[in-house]
Chain A
């Protein structure tokens, strides 16, 4: 019956996580969530996404109007994790050296030599605020750091501290004087999360409990070691073959040149998601499963993270804008069109109700 007992990808131990491991990891993630919830009110779904992306060691792009708490979210996260935190406010005159650092000529021991001065990228948690206001050249300075976790200056490669996360924000309005992120850089963000406003009750709570809007002081709930353990545990979350197949079919379905692509994709999508998207889906699904207290990934965890992973990776055709289609709508259509199991039931069979 059990014909595939070989170890699927992503779980090198060859066995499922123990109940204690899963429970401990879930507990830590919930502590993180609770802490963030104290700072950011009424954004539970957003916070869960942030935690999932963090545990999956992914970079995050937050998009939303000013004042919604994007920066505060990142600052709170750094406080809770006890990690080094730096913030860069991106402006049009920002230079790459302002991010990665630059060699400075210094006199020492009777001589002069170039000494590399690290930029703000040398941190655990980097907040790239309003990233789309910098020029593409400056934005590109983050490419190697995000993907390779290192920077190379003057032929010398400098590794970044671990863990390293980039949490960028961008403003969807005030587009004048901005530079939309190149596709290559957007693809490096594991999640892109749209930050929306909160309801009136949350607003009332905010103004009632916060003096001048200042969030409460947060203490560290997860140290660096615990975070590394959390990462390792997430890696051991089992990804069944059928779920991996579902992920691969989902990503393939975004490709308009795929024979089985649905009409909407063929018509409105110019370029589909890359294999990096599939990797991101698998990783974040594992983190989501851990948050749900499971030793394995299920179809529902995949569906939970798909909008954040695929949304910013679909390059839409101009006709999509004319027809009023958004990436969110397309992703929802793709999720609806791709069945969990590769083959549906035979037409003469039907699942029983309740």
Chain B
């Protein structure tokens, strides 16, 4: 093989590689872009699969084979390669002519310098190749680096409200249990009811029935606390009777003492069990009273001390119950004393008029005055004269006790209180139950 044929072969090889690289770059760019696209799709549709998609990069290897096949379809003819080489070495057509008509004389006129021939062989444009691959590679990397899609548990607002309510119920129940004001049976029953309510709210949207269930549970717990408070009140009354008896020095009848003892024992019972210390004190008092051991100064002093201990105990219980009741009635919307000086929207002049606006909706006990209503609202919400709300007679609890009636009757509890026409604040207003007709009017106004 003479010199020109060697260089011609090199030229042809270079051209063949050039064609292969041309197609390989194209196929690789498409392959990388497709891989990136697939990774993005998988991250979107099946995020867990994405690490396995890196194996897709292996699919790019056969693309080089395809590029090789594709480049062979358009391979340069030897005539083209010869013409290129002729032109690049500046032979002026002599190389082509010698190839077609061999002639030793003219072949000797071809360039002698090897450098001339070497310079005629084209070289690869690496920078161009990198530029072409840059965009698909960047896209692939970006696709790999984009974080996987995470499905956030979006809690609907109504579900959040229901969960808050249920959490409140559970907290209240927990406090009742902690203070041993609720029997084991009642506690289990209430816990079961609350759980059912929680399950229901997860399955379906909030309805008025849900709210009614919440109210019923709250009322049930309020009733338990109220009952405990009543027991404590009666016990405090019984203690006052004993104190009067000691002060006057007149012994009480046995029946009366038994009744008082029963009342005090009832009050001392928590969760069905009596407080042992308080019970011992009570037994000591009752024994002394039955035996009439309260005439001497020492006896009176001892008895007074025992009564004082019981009174303190009962007072502590009463305060705890009052606090609990307050919490249940306020339902955590507002805790502590309301600061009239710092209320929202108040100009600071101490007028104290409710419903004066501000950032909030104003006080809950504000009159429902609607100003600046639109015409549409005015048309929709026409004045309707409604019958006065009445207390549901079913809510009247007739209690029978052996003691004298309290001077101040126990405030209406539960639903009866909720329906009271007295001013209320916060959650009480929110939970105030209305008769169906009233409810219909309000729904008509607020519904779109």
A interface with B by C-beta (< 8 Å): 1-5, 7-8, 11, 14-16, 18-19, 238, 240-243, 289, 292, 294-301, 340-343, 345-352, 354
Q: Closest CB-CB distance, B4 to chain A, in whole Å?
A: 8
Determine which of B87, B105, B125 lies in contact with A341 in the assembled complex, contact meaning CB atoms within 8 Å: B87
Could you give 18 example pairs across A and B, Cβ below 8 Å?
A1-B1, A1-B5, A4-B79, A14-B101, A16-B97, A18-B105, A242-B79, A295-B106, A340-B83, A345-B15, A346-B15, A346-B18, A347-B125, A347-B128, A348-B18, A351-B120, A352-B120, A352-B121
B contact residues around A341 at 8 Å (CB): 80, 83-84, 87
The CA of A343 and the CA of B8, in the complex, are separated in Å by 16
Tell whether B214 is near chain A: CB-to-CB under 8 Å.
no
Known: A243-B96, A295-B97, A299-B93. A2 touches B102 (CB 8 A): yes
CB closest residue in chain B, given A342: B80
Enumerate the 7 nearest inter-chain pairs by beta-carbon distance, A residue then B residue, closest first: A298-B93, A346-B18, A298-B92, A242-B83, A240-B96, A296-B97, A349-B122
Q: What 1/0 flags go to B73-96 for Cβ under 8 Å of A?
A: 000101110111011100111101
CB under 8 Å from chain A, chain B span 49-104: 76, 78-80, 82-84, 86-88, 91-94, 96-103
The CA of A296 and the CA of B106, in the complex, are separated in Å by 10
B contact residues around A4 at 8 Å (CB): 79, 99-100
CB closest residue in chain B, given A237: B97
New contact pairs (15) apart from A296-B96, A349-B14, CB-CB < 8 Å: A1-B78, A4-B100, A15-B103, A240-B97, A242-B79, A296-B93, A298-B93, A299-B93, A341-B83, A343-B80, A346-B21, A349-B122, A351-B88, A352-B121, A352-B123
The CA of A8 and the CA of B96, in the complex, are separated in Å by 12
Contact status A5-B18, CB under 8 Å:
no
Q: Closest CB-CB distance, A226 to chain B, in whole Å?
A: 24
B contact residues around A18 at 8 Å (CB): 105
Q: Closest CB-CB distance, B109 to chain A, in whole Å?
A: 8
Tell whether B359 is near chain A: CB-to-CB under 8 Å.
no
Q: Closest CB-CB distance, B250 to chain A, in whole Å?
A: 122
Q: Closest CB-CB distance, A351 to chain B, in whole Å?
A: 5
Tell whether B25 is near chain A: CB-to-CB under 8 Å.
yes
Tell whether B19 is near chain A: CB-to-CB under 8 Å.
yes
Contact status B122-A347, CB under 8 Å:
no
CB closest residue in chain A, given B109: A19
Determine which of B8, B18, B93, B119 lies in contact with A1 in the assembled complex, contact meaning CB atoms within 8 Å: B8
Tell whether B124 is near chain A: CB-to-CB under 8 Å.
yes
Tell whether B129 is near chain A: CB-to-CB under 8 Å.
yes
A contact residues around B123 at 8 Å (CB): 349-350, 352
Contact status B21-A348, CB under 8 Å:
yes
Interface size class, chain B = 35 or more
Contact status B129-A348, CB under 8 Å:
yes
CB closest residue in chain A, given B16: A346
Tell whether B22 is near chain A: CB-to-CB under 8 Å.
yes
Q: Closest CB-CB distance, B303 to chain A, in whole Å?
A: 113
B contact residues around A238 at 8 Å (CB): 97, 100-101
Contact status B80-A15, CB under 8 Å:
no
Contact status B119-A352, CB under 8 Å:
yes
Q: Closest CB-CB distance, A246 to chain B, in whole Å?
A: 8
B contact residues around A15 at 8 Å (CB): 101, 103
The CA of A352 and the CA of B76, in the complex, are separated in Å by 20
Contact status B101-A16, CB under 8 Å:
yes
B contact residues around A5 at 8 Å (CB): 100-102
Contact status B25-A348, CB under 8 Å:
yes
A contact residues around B76 at 8 Å (CB): 343
The CA of A3 and the CA of B103, in the complex, are separated in Å by 16
The CA of A343 and the CA of B79, in the complex, are separated in Å by 11
Contact status A242-B96, CB under 8 Å:
yes
B contact residues around A289 at 8 Å (CB): 93
The CA of A298 and the CA of B87, in the complex, are separated in Å by 9
Contact status B84-A348, CB under 8 Å:
no
Known: A16-B103, A346-B21. A243 touches B124 (CB 8 A): no
CB closest residue in chain B, given A19: B105
Contact status B92-A241, CB under 8 Å:
no
Known: A298-B94, A348-B125, A348-B128. A241 touches B5 (CB 8 A): no
A contact residues around B22 at 8 Å (CB): 346-348
Q: What 1/0 flags go to B268-289 for Cβ under 8 Å of A?
A: 0000000000000000000000
The CA of A243 and the CA of B79, in the complex, are separated in Å by 10
Q: Closest CB-CB distance, A240 to chain B, in whole Å?
A: 4
Contact status A2-B100, CB under 8 Å:
yes
The CA of A301 and the CA of B94, in the complex, are separated in Å by 12
Q: Which among A19, A243, A301, A349 has the highest number of chain B CB atoms within 10 Å?
A: A349
Contact status A1-B103, CB under 8 Å:
no
CB closest residue in chain B, given A343: B80
Known: A1-B8, A340-B87, A343-B80. A240 touches B102 (CB 8 A): no
Known: A1-B5, A341-B80, A349-B124. A243 touches B93 (CB 8 A): yes
A contact residues around B96 at 8 Å (CB): 240-243, 296
CB closest residue in chain A, given B108: A19
Determine which of B87, B92, B94, B119 lies in contact with A354 in the assembled complex, contact meaning CB atoms within 8 Å: B119
A contact residues around B103 at 8 Å (CB): 15-16, 295
A contact residues around B125 at 8 Å (CB): 347-350
Contact status B19-A346, CB under 8 Å:
yes
The CA of A351 and the CA of B11, in the complex, are separated in Å by 11
Q: Closest CB-CB distance, B87 to chain A, in whole Å?
A: 6
Q: Which among A3, A11, A15, A289 has the highest number of chain B CB atoms within 10 Å?
A: A3
B contact residues around A295 at 8 Å (CB): 94, 97, 103, 106
The CA of A7 and the CA of B19, in the complex, are separated in Å by 31
Contact status B122-A345, CB under 8 Å:
yes
B contact residues around A3 at 8 Å (CB): 78-79
B contact residues around A350 at 8 Å (CB): 122-125
Contact status A345-B18, CB under 8 Å:
yes
Contact status B128-A296, CB under 8 Å:
no
The CA of A340 and the CA of B92, in the complex, are separated in Å by 12
Q: Closest CB-CB distance, A35 to chain B, in whole Å?
A: 27
Contact status B128-A294, CB under 8 Å:
no
A contact residues around B19 at 8 Å (CB): 346
Q: Closest CB-CB distance, B438 to chain A, in whole Å?
A: 83
CB closest residue in chain B, given A6: B100
CB closest residue in chain B, given A22: B106
Determine which of A19, A241, A348, A351 lies in contact with B100 in the assembled complex, contact meaning CB atoms within 8 Å: A241
The CA of A18 and the CA of B84, in the complex, are separated in Å by 25
Known: A340-B87, A343-B76, A351-B122. A242 touches B82 (CB 8 A): yes
The CA of A298 and the CA of B98, in the complex, are separated in Å by 12
Q: Closest CB-CB distance, A295 to chain B, in whole Å?
A: 6
B contact residues around A7 at 8 Å (CB): 101
CB closest residue in chain A, given B98: A16
Contact status B100-A345, CB under 8 Å:
no
